[in-house]
Chains A and B, each alone.
Chain A
Amino acid sequence: MSDRAATALYQPDLVVVEAVTDETPDTRTYRLRFRDPERAAAFTFRAGQFGEYSVFGAGESTFCIASPPTRAGYLECTVKAAGKVTGSLRQVDIGDLLGFRGPYGNAFPVEEWEGRDLVFIAGGIGLAPVRCLIWNVLDLRERYGDVTIVYGARSVADLVYKRELEEWAARDDVRLVTTVDPGGETPDWRGEVGYVTPVVERAAPRAEGAVAVLCGPPIVVKLTLPVLAKLGFADEAVYTTLENRMKCGVGKCGRCNIGSVYVCKDGPVFTAAQLKALPQDY
């Protein structure tokens, strides 16, 4: 592949599927490793960045990198089967070759957060970008203050990263609150029952000197932002990610802009203060 550099911008690197984990009936996590050992060794990224993932023959799709940058040698994405590419990913097996372009976009300023309390709030598959961040922080645990995680899904079956939720629940340096929507609980469910927003309000994490990260379906983000404000979180201390449709990932194909802001170049990480200054085009 000596000619690879000729169109490097849109031509992905080949990645080998190392593991496939069922998260929910329609969501899987794929662990990928660059086939080229040199590329694997040189690859770095920051929590919050995204990539363009290829299934050759089906096309390319945009997902955040769900594994933490503190664990080198592989990257993971967690994907819900919804469209053509995500549907094709269901057919992918261990050992198959996919494509990856990235990392693209900005990142969570985790270094700036050192010494502060962190509150992670996620709904549904919105836990993927937050999970990257959680492990990033837990792998450097001594650098951060209290860690609170509030995670909700429609039903017990829809909770992703179930083994990791157990792991976090077992740690005494993490406060984990899980919840499922009313009617989504099972007889042996021991978490909360209720929507994410009121559960956050009840959990009432201390806002003073803390940073909150909020990712999930637009409705969860929309409803929870005012609750965080009520709890005392400044808009500058609340972070989220936007998930606009993208093709190129590098500011050229022209579809992810919100006003003059390009999600691919200026995002996907934004503060609530930045969101408030954007037109309602997302």
Chain B
Amino acid sequence: MNGRAADSGHDRAADGVATQSAAPRRVLLLTHDGLATLVEELATADAAAVAPAWAGGAGRAAGAPGAPRETEYRAVTGAAELAFGGRLPRLSLKQFFLPPTEVLFTWRRTAGDVELTAAPTDVPARVVLGARPCDAAALPIVDRVMNWDYADELWNARRAATTVFSLACGVEDESCFCSAVFLEPAATRGSDGSLTPVDGGYLVETFSDKGEAFVAAHADRFAEPPAGAAGDELRAQAEAFRAAARERVAANLRLDHDRVRDWLEHHFDDPFWATLGPRCNGCGVCSSVCPTCHCFDIVDEPESVGHGVRRRNWDTCQACVFTLHASGHNPRADQNARYRQRVEHKFLVYPTRFGDVLCTGCGRCSRACPTGQDLSEVLAAIDGLSRSGAGPDTGGAGRSHGAEGAAS
């Protein structure tokens, strides 16, 4: 049927868990002025860059006096909009590859016939400038699901059309835990190139053909780094920025993934889960803001008598109807089971089927949760349980997914 989509060489390289940061192919310099010109140039050429930008108009930007301004990823037309170094954007980059809602095809019924018209997959080439490394890293992670035996053409078309330059992250706050999920604040996984702040601008590194092609196409905006001591100084500044960020995030969370996975595999019915459901109201905002949550619904939307569209919409395992059978039977009948599914999908199911984890440690789910459910706290608790050996008494109810049958 549909062939497995071929990975690009870059994606394959980035797939290794140990590969936090690839060796750059090229190192260049982008001054603040160069960046401003680049952004304007792209907008003029009708290929506006997607970048972190100050959110909304006057109304939305206000917030509490003195509060940091909200940011969002969007197509930018001028440097004044850029929010490099601002707060973490509310939503991840996911929306540019898997939109919250999209048409899969349209159908039209005429006399004795039905005509289906596919959604276009001719996505114009575009660039993301200044992606958070945790958002860029999510892309190759979701690629695996979208190409698991069957290729998702819409996702792949957007991936192929997009060049992603990440911006080394200074770490948002204590909810960040990228370093606990095989990444780091300057991780380059999923990035075609990266920017790291240095005096006067950014040190630019490229990691893929797409990244190289972009800097070549806009060669006038990029400069070779100065030779000798001045160049060494810039590289040292970049490394100092990365090291400081690495140190800042390191204390937030540490996980022994093998132990966490083993605990999850053998504690499906652990009483621990019953402590989490009551705090979750099932709103699913954690899924919406998550860069790696990719579950979707497929629905028909009649536009009128005789024609309509079939849509794919973001969905969430936190909703009670997610797994509800037509018979009324629901395999995940309470919120404990639904919250467990979110944790298990990310730290047991995905790792078992694809490797590493379905999480980049961006912390958005913790920040966005209206009831204060904090994934890093939950993971720390599971990590603790896995170390305590016995953990809470499973009452002999714990079941293994493995060949061993019931757990002890």
- Chain A residues at the B interface, C-beta cutoff of 8 Å: 1, 3-12, 14, 54, 56-60, 82-83, 86, 95, 97, 99, 217-218, 243-245, 247-248, 250-255, 257-262, 265, 276-282
Q: Considering the complex, which residues of chain B in the window 184-208 have a beta carbon less than 8 Å from any beta carbon of chain A?
A: none
**Of A4, A97, A217, A259, most B-chain CB atoms within 10 Å:** A259
| Cα A255 to Cα B315 with chains together (Å) | 10
Stretch at the interface among B104-112, B209-217, B363-371, B376-384: B104-112
Complex contact B401–A56 (CB within 8 A):
no
Contacts A9-B151, A252-B145: A259 and B344 contacting too (C-beta < 8 A)? yes
Contacts A247-B298, A255-B323: A6 and B344 contacting too (C-beta < 8 A)? no
Complex contact B300–A282 (CB within 8 A):
no
| Cα A54 to Cα B308 with chains together (Å) | 13
Complex contact A251–B149 (CB within 8 A):
yes
Contacts A6-B119, A56-B308, A265-B149: A11 and B296 contacting too (C-beta < 8 A)? no
Within 8 Å of chain A (Cβ to Cβ): is B408? Answer: no
Complex contact B116–A4 (CB within 8 A):
yes
Question: What distance in Å separates the Cβ of A244 from its nearest Cβ neighbour in chain B?
Answer: 7
Contacts A9-B2, A58-B300, A279-B399: A255 and B105 contacting too (C-beta < 8 A)? no
Mark contacts of B283-309 with chain A using CB atoms, 8 A cut-off: 1 yes-contact digit, 0 otherwise: 000000000001111111010000010
Complex contact A259–B349 (CB within 8 A):
yes
| Cα A11 to Cα B115 with chains together (Å) | 11
Among A14, A252, A259, which residue has its beta carbon within 8 angstroms of that of B294? A252
Question: What distance in Å separates the Cβ of B2 from its nearest Cβ neighbour in chain A?
Answer: 6
Q: List 7 A-B contacts (CB under 8 A).
A: A1-B115, A4-B116, A10-B105, A57-B300, A86-B326, A245-B324, A255-B323
Mark contacts of B342-354 with chain A using CB atoms, 8 A cut-off: 1 yes-contact digit, 0 otherwise: 0011001100110
Complex contact A59–B295 (CB within 8 A):
no
**Residue of B whose beta carbon sits closest to that of A251:** B148
| Cα A180 to Cα B331 with chains together (Å) | 27
Question: What distance in Å separates the Cβ of B332 from its nearest Cβ neighbour in chain A?
Answer: 7
Residues of A within 8 A of B60 (CB): none
Within 8 Å of chain A (Cβ to Cβ): is B121? Answer: yes
Q: Considering the complex, which residues of chain B in the window 87-123 have a beta carbon less than 8 Å from any beta carbon of chain A?
A: 104-105, 107, 109, 112-121
Among A7, A251, A280, which residue has its beta carbon within 8 angstroms of that of B118? A7
Residues of B within 8 A of A251 (CB): 145, 148-150
Complex contact B399–A280 (CB within 8 A):
yes
Question: What distance in Å separates the Cβ of A100 from its nearest Cβ neighbour in chain B?
Answer: 12
| Cα A16 to Cα B399 with chains together (Å) | 46
Within 8 Å of chain A (Cβ to Cβ): is B339? Answer: no
Complex contact A276–B300 (CB within 8 A):
no
Question: What distance in Å separates the Cβ of B313 from its nearest Cβ neighbour in chain A?
Answer: 10
Among B112, B117, B153, which residue has its beta carbon within 8 angstroms of that of A8? B153
**Residue of A whose beta carbon sits closest to that of B300:** A59
| Cα A14 to Cα B145 with chains together (Å) | 27
Among A9, A56, A247, A259, which residue has its beta carbon within 8 angstroms of that of B114? A56
Within 8 Å of chain A (Cβ to Cβ): is B57? Answer: no
Q: Chain A contact residues: over half helix, strand or loop, or mixed?
A: loop
On chain B, which size bracket covers the interface?
35 or more
Residues of A within 8 A of B105 (CB): 7, 10-11
| Cα A217 to Cα B327 with chains together (Å) | 10
**Residue of A whose beta carbon sits closest to that of B146:** A252
Within 8 Å of chain A (Cβ to Cβ): is B69? Answer: no
Complex contact A244–B331 (CB within 8 A):
yes
Among A95, A253, A257, A277, which residue has its beta carbon within 8 angstroms of that of B349? A257
Complex contact A282–B345 (CB within 8 A):
no
| Cα A218 to Cα B109 with chains together (Å) | 39
Among B145, B300, B337, B400, which residue has its beta carbon within 8 angstroms of that of A277? B400
| Cα A256 to Cα B324 with chains together (Å) | 11
Q: Considering the complex, which residues of chain B in the window 355-405 have a beta carbon less than 8 Å from any beta carbon of chain A?
A: 399-403, 405
**Of A14, A95, A243, A260, most B-chain CB atoms within 10 Å:** A260
Within 8 Å of chain A (Cβ to Cβ): is B317? Answer: yes
Question: What distance in Å separates the Cβ of B395 from its nearest Cβ neighbour in chain A?
Answer: 14
Mark contacts of B306-336 with chain A using CB atoms, 8 A cut-off: 1 yes-contact digit, 0 otherwise: 0010101001010000111111010110000
Residues of B within 8 A of A254 (CB): 294-296, 315, 317, 345
**Residue of A whose beta carbon sits closest to that of B348:** A260
Complex contact B322–A255 (CB within 8 A):
yes
Contacts A57-B308, A255-B323, A259-B349: A95 and B112 contacting too (C-beta < 8 A)? yes
Question: What distance in Å separates the Cβ of B368 from its nearest Cβ neighbour in chain A?
Answer: 19
Contacts A57-B308, A245-B325: A6 and B113 contacting too (C-beta < 8 A)? no
Residues of A within 8 A of B297 (CB): 247, 253
Complex contact B152–A9 (CB within 8 A):
yes
Within 8 Å of chain A (Cβ to Cβ): is B165? Answer: no
**Residue of A whose beta carbon sits closest to that of B151:** A9
Question: When A and B form their complex, which 5 residue pairs have the shortest distance between CB atoms, in order from nearest?
Answer: A254-B295, A82-B326, A279-B268, A260-B352, A83-B326
**Residue of B whose beta carbon sits closest to that of A281:** B331
| Cα A69 to Cα B400 with chains together (Å) | 36
Residues of B within 8 A of A12 (CB): 116
Residues of A within 8 A of B245 (CB): none
| Cα A278 to Cα B294 with chains together (Å) | 24
Complex contact A260–B353 (CB within 8 A):
yes
**Residue of A whose beta carbon sits closest to that of B397:** A280
Given A255-B317, A259-B348, A279-B268, 17 new contacts (CB under 8 A): A6-B120, A7-B104, A8-B153, A10-B310, A56-B114, A56-B308, A59-B299, A217-B327, A247-B298, A250-B148, A251-B145, A254-B295, A257-B345, A259-B265, A259-B268, A261-B401, A277-B403
Question: What distance in Å separates the Cβ of B238 from its nearest Cβ neighbour in chain A?
Answer: 38
Residues of A within 8 A of B403 (CB): 277
Complex contact A10–B405 (CB within 8 A):
no
Within 8 Å of chain A (Cβ to Cβ): is B154? Answer: yes
Contacts A10-B310, A14-B114: A56 and B104 contacting too (C-beta < 8 A)? no
Question: What distance in Å separates the Cβ of B151 from its nearest Cβ neighbour in chain A?
Answer: 7
Residues of A within 8 A of B324 (CB): 245
**Residue of B whose beta carbon sits closest to that of A3:** B118
Complex contact A7–B121 (CB within 8 A):
yes
Question: What distance in Å separates the Cβ of A277 from its nearest Cβ neighbour in chain B?
Answer: 6
**Of A86, A95, A247, A265, most B-chain CB atoms within 10 Å:** A247
